[in-house]
Chain A
């Protein structure tokens, strides 16, 4: 069937605010990679689940689809029309077609107007929809109360006439979410994006709202994008499901195949982590290490590789994974002291693309001596310059020149150079030792260890994103397949 909505390579980046000084000196602009090259399509009447942990980009996709955030790249096609960057007039029509329900019903309703009024408001703006798809404009004479009451009945708030004049504060969370849903379906949209619609509700009433969502779909032929972090709810509601991680789709397929045969290690981890409400099935869990990394600088290769329990040497290991290794080693006081003694403070370790550098030291005059000499030249030069300006400047310049020459000569001191070389060699050897304590795939991914000019460095071979590949019934982004 022709998809009703198609998203191709959708990318949304947010700039990171930098201060004035940072902007003057700091190189490239930092960006939060909220959504990176996400593609999916939805058939009419389908329920697609976007599932993932906070920060995976699922809500950003929702906001982009309804125009609350603009896409950095890629296209969104609705019923064959490109709606990525709609004109203001188009946008109003689109709002009638694609609607959104947010997580927090308490924040979604205006506390100062009754719920009947809240629903009447959208009808005044967009007109009353009729079965043939047209919308009848509302004038001050149009009797709205019966229309609104019908909507309230539709979402299970009866007797509608009683609810009509209530204020949001008089309703419970579940009832408020029903009002929000009513306000959405009053427009007869074709797509409803539900962003964690039951996350704020108590367990005993969640099912009410979920069933209402399903009933409304049957009644009005809606298509849903159901966004949640809860895999159990998604399994119950969705027909197809996309598991997201750090702005990318890790795995997408029919709900049946994703749950019966999860392929991506991240999907497996998510399923494993769900608490099971059965004390007889307690068991030790194999959990991924650490937490979701910062989306400003997502990991190379597969974005899940630093946490993955089944990672291979080709998953995208890179210099900064060494920092994590050092962090883990720092949990033991003894190892931490040894690491710091041998490798110097953390600041002396820098990364640059696929290279990790540790500066072992420098040749030349000791730093304090250099500063003292410079200070002397400056003071002496200026004092004289006060009397004879021209001569003063000449003396000042020649003074600095001498200082520079002395430093250069000191740098060529063969003894110092030898010493530095052996120190660098020691750092390299120690680093090699540290890297062997890494988990196996990471240790095997380490490339060339070398030294040059007082710097010990590790070179990693560049890696690429594995990309989504079709495996049996699902598409999965993992090098294992």
Chain B
């Protein structure tokens, strides 16, 4: 399968008052065409930063090194104007809270007109609205909602509209950053079903960023687990859930509370600070299987076996 997106040795560093914050560290990730990759981790592990880094929409104080290849292009080497054209057209993104992403002073239809004209400036209003109507039908939103303002719509409707905006240009990659976290559980399932069918119709790859392991289990083909700015384990979803290799993945899976959970488990300790240099394995202080070598030597990247995945650990 052709590789759609690939990062090699990607580093993202934020300059802050308290020093350099290493949000993403030496990160290698590849996403084949037509695959849904779930990127999971706890808050502050750098998963959202990675999503934004791909689109290059990080804050001013961020510096990036390494490479992000998208098809034949290196996104980090592209000039500003060209990345702007890729955003929304080839790579689209949807965010957690649709309320803060839609302009409260604009009607829904004006969002569509503005988005289309940002890429195709000479589109007439009528042509733009016609296209909007088509994608709205794809996300099951009645056309009369176009007259409305965002506050008149429910959370699920708003997220559907965000998805419709992302679909306007048939992107090949959709980055979904916690797309259902702000929604209730039933609406969450509805939106996921919708995303699943749209992915097929539009032939998109999806990078699903979430903290919810249940979501990933139901939705993703492959999973990457992030901890302290690194991908500690990557692999095929079934393998990763059935046979997790990294101690952090094991701990995370054990701490999920679902309807079958009988007793409470939590990983001891807290995630490390990302400020300053890091020596050895970042999970060392919390790990149940730690060895002396983990404290001082950075863990090696090892293959996980048949599923073509990787694990970042001294155990293997």
Residues of A participating in the B interface, judged by any CB pair closer than 8 Å = 53-54, 172-175, 202-208, 210-211, 229-233, 235-236, 259, 269-280, 282, 285, 287-288, 291-292, 327-328, 330-333, 336, 346
Contact = CB atoms under 8 A, between A and B. Distances in A.
B35 interface: no
B184 A278 contact: no
B259 interface: yes
Given A273-B185, A285-B189, A333-B133, A206 B42 contact: no
B237 interface: yes
A207 B270 CA distance: 13
B261 A278 contact: no
A346 B145 CA distance: 13
A336 B145 CA distance: 14
Contacts of A202: 42-43, 211
B242 A331 contact: no
Interface string B154-191: 11110000000000000000000000000011111110
B143 A291 contact: no
A273 B137 contact: no
A291 B183 CA distance: 10
A261 to B, nearest CB: 14
Contacts of A333: 133, 137, 143
B253 interface: yes
Contact of A285 (B140, B144, B193, B261): B193
Contacts of B43: 173, 202
A175 B255 CA distance: 18
B124 to A, nearest CB: 19
Interface stretch (B19-27, B84-92, B213-221): B213-221
B287 to A, nearest CB: 13
Contacts of B259: 231-232, 235, 259, 271, 274, 276
Contact of B142 (A259, A271, A292, A331): A331
B265 interface: yes
A277 B217 contact: yes
Contacts of B255: 203-204, 206-207
Contacts of B99: none
B184 A211 contact: no
Contacts of A235: 259, 261
Interface string B275-302: 0000000000000000000000000000
Contact residue range for chain B? 35 or more
A291 B211 contact: no
A236 B261 contact: yes
B258 interface: yes
A211 B238 CA distance: 30
In the complex, which of the residues A202, A230, A280 has the most CB atoms of chain B within 10 Å of its own CB atom? A202
A206 B142 contact: no
A282 B218 contact: yes
6 contacts: A53-B184, A206-B266, A229-B185, A275-B217, A285-B193, A327-B144
Given A206-B257, A229-B185, A274-B258, A279 B270 contact: no
8 closest Cβ contacts across the A-B interface? Answer: A275-B214, A207-B266, A207-B264, A53-B184, A202-B42, A204-B267, A273-B189, A330-B142
A327 B148 CA distance: 14
Given A259-B259, A275-B218, A203 B252 contact: yes
Contacts of A277: 213-214, 216-217, 241, 253, 256, 258
Given A202-B211, A279-B241, 13 more contacts: A172-B270, A204-B42, A205-B270, A207-B255, A207-B257, A236-B261, A236-B264, A270-B185, A275-B212, A280-B241, A288-B186, A332-B137, A333-B133
B140 A203 contact: no
B264 A279 contact: no
Contacts of A330: 142-144
Contacts of B140: 331
B164 to A, nearest CB: 13
B217 A204 contact: no
B303 interface: no
Contacts of B137: 331-333
A204 B142 CA distance: 41
Contacts of B265: 207
Nearest to B155: A291
B243 to A, nearest CB: 12
A207 B155 CA distance: 29
B66 interface: no
A280 B238 contact: yes
Contact of A269 (B186, B237, B251): B186
A251 to B, nearest CB: 16
A279 B243 CA distance: 12
In the complex, which of the residues A205, A275, A331 has the most CB atoms of chain B within 10 Å of its own CB atom? A275
Contacts of B144: 327, 330, 346
A54 B265 CA distance: 27
B261 A287 contact: no
A236 B189 CA distance: 22
A291 B156 contact: yes
A287 B189 contact: yes
Nearest to A56: B184
A443 B214 CA distance: 38
A291 B235 CA distance: 35
A348 to B, nearest CB: 14
Nearest to B133: A333
Nearest to A326: B142
Contact of B184 (A173, A203, A292, A336): A292
A203 B189 contact: no
Contacts of B185: 53, 229, 231, 270, 273-274
A206 to B, nearest CB: 7
B238 A279 contact: yes
A232 B258 contact: yes
Interface in B126-162: 133, 137, 140-144, 154-157
